[in-house]
A and B are shown apart, each in its own frame.
Chain A
Amino acid sequence: MAKSLYENYKNFPKTDCGYCGNTSCITMLRRFCSGELPLSECIYFRAGLYNVNEFSCSPPVPRGTQKPSISYIRPCPTDADRISVEVSLLPPEGSKYGYFDMITLDNIFNHAVPGLRISPSLGIARLESEWGDVMGFSEGRVLIRRASNESSAFWQLSRFVRSLWAAVS
């Protein structure tokens, strides 16, 4: 079964040695996923230390199958005074890795923003704050929970997307 970029990266050499001619392992992995390069470019794979068959990428999501939209606005299941909002953002034209690139995001922030946690292996970012929690998923889904009302939820959404702009792929 094809795995996400993150699941593949989890088991990658991650040395960033550059022998393959790429600036980092993640660049190599991306070019493999988009069909540009075989994994045998990497010295570790060539030496047989990693097994090519354990890596496979899902084909990139073609633009247009997803629509940017508000998926729902609902009361929080356990806190009727608060609301949850989920939106789907559209990956930019030509993007092969969904909306948010969590690996880049992790490299930029790496625990530097209070309340922001990024898991490149799971493809999830979570920003905790007193106005509600926001979770972003690599494919572009953003979920705002425990917001006090709609305008606060959308303010949270814009704050989240603004902080993560550098990682929009």
Chain B
Amino acid sequence: MLDTESIRKDFPFLRQGCIYLDSTATSLTPEPVLNKMLEYYREYRANIERGIYKAAQIATDAFEGARAEIARLINAKPEEIILVRNTSEGINLVASGQGLKKGDRVVTTILEHHSNFIVWLRARKRVGAEVKVVMSDGEGFLDLSDFERAINGRTRLVAVTHTSNVLGVRPPVKEIVKMAHDKGALVLVDGAQSVPHTKVDVKALGCDFLAFSGHKMCGPTGAGALYIREDLQEKIEPLCIGGGTIEDVGIDHYRLRQGPSRYEAGTPAIAEVIGMGAAASYLMEIGMPNIAAHDASLTKKVLEGLQEVPSLTLYGPKDPRKRAGIFSFNLGRFHPHDLAVALDAAAGVMVRSGHHCALPLHKHILKLDSGTVRASVYLYNTEQDVEVLLSALSEISKTML
């Protein structure tokens, strides 16, 4: 079990006494991560992979050390980790770098975040790729036989989320990977919501690409990672090229480097990457299985409690074993934004409201135009946070509907 009390002391933001239940949007940042970033600015502020002097060496080592820690978090090799800004950039890199052509098929799902959805619609518009969207049932469950039908011989890529950021459902990615590989398609997994909360092992999962964001895993904003399986790197074109990506340049030719640096043009977000590395270490120190168990115990409590609030409609699976700690709901006719404002004003509870960058899901599966309110839990949340949320919701339900 987690020692939540001592973990909470690491997060300065919590000292204000607020109840933060929006880690799905972005997580809080602990002192060890903040300090590691400040250390860079204060003690060895130099560019990486350029200078020969000592500070530049230290900076390069810290940057590459961060890459290694991020790799270790998902059981990849450091050479397989491309450092980008966030999940969205990672997905865009795959979308544009794969060289999709007219008639190529991309299979994705209705659960996706816009970042793993509109890129494929753009590929359709730009090159005439065919986009097949696998639908879910009302709770967000996907049927493997739909993938069986959707993935055909022309399918180049299956792009699927590891955890829905609205319903908390976890699609059967391992089975999807196997099915896709059998038919010669590659698989991109959107790990934005899974990597921060569970032990993700790319080797066990078998996926070809995995994108995730530092800011959702206790790291800073501005740093994210894309895993590209080593043997695929030759085939994926970089999104940007320039300084740092080349092996040789002449007056009328250039040759890109091997390895992740071919994708990392220009000076990267050095402090942020170092921070993301520190966040990976922080999470591994606590232990991903412990974090997952903590999430699961709060999930059970939230699920039980929400179902007792009068007039509350909860979306997604009701079985706590089948979902992550992400809960979308509505209360009577209350507009989601008004409910979020009321929770903030009455109880200092911070939750997200709206469509959570998943309009297709809201329109076609949930049939809700104005969206939902979403609460989510992470390692620093306590049972007491959950109780305050539940009692505030009950009070709103009792007095304001």
Contact = CB atoms under 8 A, between A and B. Distances in A.
B354 A122 contact: no
B337 A117 contact: no
Given A77-B354, A117-B399, A126-B342, 11 more contacts: A76-B337, A77-B337, A78-B355, A79-B370, A118-B399, A119-B400, A122-B400, A133-B335, A133-B338, A135-B345, A145-B338
Nearest to B369: A78
Chain B CB within 10 Å — which of A1, A76, A120, A121 has the most?
A121
Contacts of A118: 399-400
B401 interface: yes
6 contacts: A1-B17, A76-B337, A77-B337, A122-B396, A123-B346, A126-B400
A154 B360 CA distance: 34
A120 B355 CA distance: 30
Interface residues of A, number: 22
Interface of A: 1, 76-79, 117-124, 126, 128, 133, 135, 137, 141, 143, 145-146
A123 B346 CA distance: 7
A122 B337 contact: no
Contacts of A123: 345-346
A79 B335 CA distance: 12
Nearest to A138: B345
Interface in B80-131: none
B399 A122 contact: yes
A122 B346 contact: yes
A124 B39 CA distance: 45
Nearest to B343: A122
Contacts of A128: 333
Contact of A122 (B335, B338, B342, B370): B342
B342 A145 contact: no
Contact of B370 (A78, A126, A135, A143): A78
The bracket for how many chain B residues form the interface is 20 to 34
Interface of B: 17, 333, 335, 337-338, 341-342, 345-347, 353-355, 370-371, 392, 395-396, 399-401
A76 to B, nearest CB: 7
B263 to A, nearest CB: 33
Nearest to A134: B338
Contacts of B399: 117-122
Report which residue of A78, A79, A123, A126 has the largest number of chain B beta carbons within 10 angstroms of its beta carbon: A78
B346 A124 contact: yes
Contacts of B396: 119, 122
A76 B341 CA distance: 13
A140 to B, nearest CB: 12
Given A78-B337, A78-B371, A122-B392, A117 B400 contact: yes
Contact of A135 (B341, B395, B401): B341
Given A78-B354, A78-B371, A117-B401, A126 B395 contact: no
Contacts of B335: 133, 145-146
A29 to B, nearest CB: 18
A126 B396 CA distance: 11
A124 B337 contact: no
Nearest to B352: A77
Nearest to B359: A78
Contact of B341 (A117, A119, A121, A143): A143
B359 to A, nearest CB: 9
B304 to A, nearest CB: 23
A135 B338 CA distance: 8
